[in-house]
A and B are shown apart, each in its own frame.
Chain A
Amino acid sequence: GAVVSQHPSRVICKSGTSVKIECRSLDFQATTMFWYRQFPKQSLMLMATSNEGSKATYEQGVEKDKFLINHASLTLSTLTVTSAHPEDSSFYICSARTSGRQSTDTQYFGPGTRLTVL
């Protein structure tokens, strides 16, 4: 099956610094990638939808200037958490969707990135 990777798997940073998380589709092209955030013992919450070559669409309540998303190619999307603070500590998960017009195109999830802001 299709594989999605994320890097890094874990990151610890100081408050005020920026952190970049990469999401790659390894063996397929993904026109659309999604970024989710998951707090402990909670469900996945969609942050933004990223389409290759265009600006990301952010969900209500998600600050686009704080969570910068770049989808520069069909296999790579990046999420940069700018000026991170302890409340940004969370598990960030991306998913990549194979090209196609149907909503039933399968989404493949990455393994997640655990961000801890001190």
Chain B
Amino acid sequence: GESVGLHLPTLSVQEGDNSIINCAYSNSASDYFIWYKQESGKGPQFIIDIRSNMDKRQGQRVTVLLNKTVKHLSLQIAATQPGDSAVYFCAETLGQAGTALIFGKGTTLSVSS
């Protein structure tokens, strides 16, 4: 069958390659999703977000894709650089004010020169 993008705990790429990081979220009612980057010993850093009424959003070198049918989120990083090496987390939240983010399992991206 077709792969919908299995979550991998680690991803190793060469500098200049494109990276794709996958995430499966848990709640079909979630309507807002965010990708964070976390470097060792630091707090999460916002990368890009997407609302449930969209299926794609592009930023600078990054693209987020949302597939609500299978509750899947992906982050694409173009021309990956060594500085992109970090742990990447997806997070989801419900459409209510004050609702906290629920984080998915992280993916450690390692970029070699």
- List residues of A whose CB falls within 8 A of some B CB: 4, 6, 31-32, 34, 36, 42-46, 49, 51, 91, 93, 95, 97, 100-112, 114
Which residues on A sit within 8 Å (CB–CB) of B97? 100-103, 105
Q: Are A43 and B94 in contact (CB under 8 A)?
A: no
What is the interface size of chain B, counting residues whose CB is below 8 A from a CB of the partner?
27
Q: In the assembly, what is the distance between CA of A45 and CA of B44, in Å?
A: 13
Q: In the assembly, what is the distance between CA of A106 and CA of B32, in Å?
A: 11
Q: How far is the CB of B28 from chain A (nearest CB, A)?
A: 15
Q: Does B59 contact A (CB under 8 A)?
A: no
Closest B residue to A59 by beta carbon equals: B100
Which residues on A sit within 8 Å (CB–CB) of B42? 111-112
Please classify the interface of chain A as helix (H, G, I), strand (E, B), loop, or mixed, using the class held by over half of its residues.
strand
Q: Are B93 and A109 in contact (CB under 8 A)?
A: no
Q: How far is the CB of B23 from chain A (nearest CB, A)?
A: 11
Q: Which of A43, A106, A109 contacts B43 (CB 8 A)?
A: A109
Which residues on B sit within 8 Å (CB–CB) of A114? 41
Residue contacts A-B, CB under 8 angstroms, 10 given: A4-B43, A32-B98, A43-B89, A43-B104, A46-B102, A100-B97, A103-B93, A107-B34, A107-B101, A111-B42
Which residues on B sit within 8 Å (CB–CB) of A111? 42-43
Closest B residue to A43 by beta carbon equals: B103
